Amino acid sequence: MTSAQEQTLGFQTEVKQLLHLMINSLYSNREIFLRELISNSADACDKLRYRALESDALYEGDPELRVEIEFDKDARTVTVRDNGIGMNREDVIANLGTIARSGTAEFLKQMSGEQQKDARLIGQFGVGFYSGFIVADEVVVRTRLAGTAQDQGVEWRSKGEGEFTIADIERAEHGTEIVLHLKEDALEFADEHRLKALVRKYSDHIEVPVRMPTVQEGEDDTDVTVTWETVNEAQALWVRPRTEVSDDEYKAFYKHVAHDFSDPLTWSHNKVEGKLEYTSLLYVPSRAPFDLYQREGARGLKLYVQRVFIIDDAEQFLPLYLRFVKGVVDSNDLSLNVSREILQQDPQVEKMKGALTKRALDMLGKLSKDSETYQNFWTQFGSVLKEGPAEDHGNREKIGGLLRFASTHTDSAVQDQSLADYISRMQEGQQTIYYIIADSFNAARHSPHLEIFRKKGIEVLLLSDRIDEWLMTHLTEFDGKSLVDITRGDLDLGEIDSEEEKQAQQESAKAKEGLAERFREALGDQVQEVRVTHRLTESPACVVLPENEMGYQMRRLMEAAGQPVPEVKPILEFNPEHALVSRLESSEGEAFTDLAHVLFDQAVIAEGGQLDDPAAYVRRLNAMLTH
For the stretch 193-219, pLDDT in tens is 999 999 988 788 788 999 999 877 766
H-state helical runs in 136-218: 192-202
Annotated binding-site residue? 36 = yes
Lowest mean pLDDT among 46-50, 478-482, 532-536, 567-571: 567-571
Mean pLDDT of 403-414: 95
Answer yes or no: is pLDDT of 387 > 80.
yes
Answer yes or no: is pLDDT of 18 > 80.
no
Same fold, 403-497 and 498-626: no
Q: Which fold has domain 498-626?
A: Four Helix Bundle (Hemerythrin (Met), subunit A) (1.20.120)
Tell me the three state secondary structure of residue 464: coil
Cβ proximity of 83 and 46 under 8 Å? no
Annotated binding-site residue? 317 = no
Answer yes or no: is pLDDT of 115 > 50.
no
Annotated binding-site residue? 129 = yes
Distance in angstroms (rounded) separating the CA atoms of residues 170 and 317:
42
Pick the more confident residue, 35 or 279.
279
Distance in angstroms (rounded) separating the CA atoms of residues 304 and 329:
6
Annotated binding-site residue? 84 = no
Cβ proximity of 174 and 146 under 8 Å? yes
Per CATH, the architecture of 15-230 is what?
Answer: 2-Layer Sandwich (3.30)
Q: Residue 62's pLDDT is what? A: 94
Cβ-Cβ contacts under 8 Å for 211 (sequence gap 6 or more)? 66, 67, 68, 69, 228, 229, 230, 231
Residue 401: C-alpha distances to residues 76, 345, 461, 595 (Å): 56, 31, 15, 46
Confidence of residue 126 (pLDDT cuts 50, 70, 90): very low
Distance in angstroms (rounded) separating the CA atoms of residues 176 and 169:
13
Lowest mean pLDDT among 168-172, 295-299, 422-426, 578-582: 295-299
Cβ proximity of 308 and 53 under 8 Å? yes
Q: Residue 336's pLDDT is what? A: 64
Annotated binding-site residue? 548 = no
Annotated binding-site residue? 128 = yes
Mean pLDDT of 448-454: 92
Chain segment 99-109, per-residue pLDDT in tens: 544 444 555 55
Annotated binding-site residue? 77 = no
Q: Residue 295's pLDDT is what? A: 61
Annotated binding-site residue? 82 = yes
Per CATH, the architecture of 237-383 is what?
Answer: 2-Layer Sandwich (3.30)
CA angle 569, 571, 575 (to 5 degrees): 150
Instruction: Enter the DSSP assignment of 572.
Output: E
Chain segment 88-99, per-residue pLDDT in tens: 999 898 888 765
Chain segment 498-529, per-residue pLDDT in tens: 788 788 888 888 888 889 899 999 998 899 89
Distance in angstroms (rounded) separating the CA atoms of residues 382 and 396:
15
Pick the more confident residue, 233 or 456.
456
Answer yes or no: is pLDDT of 270 > 70.
yes
Confidence of residue 297 (pLDDT cuts 50, 70, 90): low
Annotated binding-site residue? 622 = no
Mean pLDDT of 269-285: 92
Annotated binding-site residue? 547 = no
Distance in angstroms (rounded) separating the CA atoms of residues 265 and 247:
12
Answer yes or no: is pLDDT of 301 > 80.
yes
Tell me the three state secondary structure of residue 113: helix
Answer yes or no: is pLDDT of 119 > 50.
no
Residue 120: C-alpha distances to residues 27, 610, 623, 625 (Å): 12, 42, 58, 56
Tell me the three state secondary structure of residue 446: coil
Annotated binding-site residue? 51 = no
Answer yes or no: is pLDDT of 252 > 70.
yes
Cβ proximity of 483 and 477 under 8 Å? yes
Annotated binding-site residue? 102 = yes
Q: How many CB atoms lie within 10 A of CB 368?
A: 18
Q: Whose CA is closest to 255, among 100, 120, 87?
A: 120
**For all residues of the chain together, what is the average pLDDT?**
86
Mean pLDDT of 303-311: 80
Q: Residue 98's pLDDT is what? A: 60
Going from N- to C-terminal start, the domains of the chain cover 15-230, 237-383, 403-497, 498-626
Lowest mean pLDDT among 287-296, 428-437, 617-626: 287-296
**% of residues, the chain, pLDDT over 70:** 90
Lowest mean pLDDT among 315-319, 358-362, 561-565: 561-565
Annotated binding-site residue? 379 = no
Pick the more confident residue, 625 or 280.
280
Distance in angstroms (rounded) separating the CA atoms of residues 157 and 2:
11
Answer yes or no: is pLDDT of 265 > 70.
yes
Distance in angstroms (rounded) separating the CA atoms of residues 367 and 265:
8
**% of residues, the chain, pLDDT over 90:** 50
Q: Residue 125's pLDDT is what? A: 42
Q: Residue 2's pLDDT is what? A: 41
Q: Residue 338's pLDDT is what? A: 67
Residue 505: C-alpha distances to residues 122, 509, 543, 571, 575 (Å): 60, 6, 18, 18, 11
Mean pLDDT of 484-492: 84
Confidence of residue 566 (pLDDT cuts 50, 70, 90): confident
CATH of 403-497, one of 1.10.3720.10, 3.40.50.11260, 2.60.120.200, 3.40.1160.10: 3.40.50.11260
Answer yes or no: is pLDDT of 26 > 60.
no
What letters, b where the CB count within 10 A reaches 16 and e where it falls short, cover 391-415? ebeebbebbbbbbbbbbbbeeeeeb
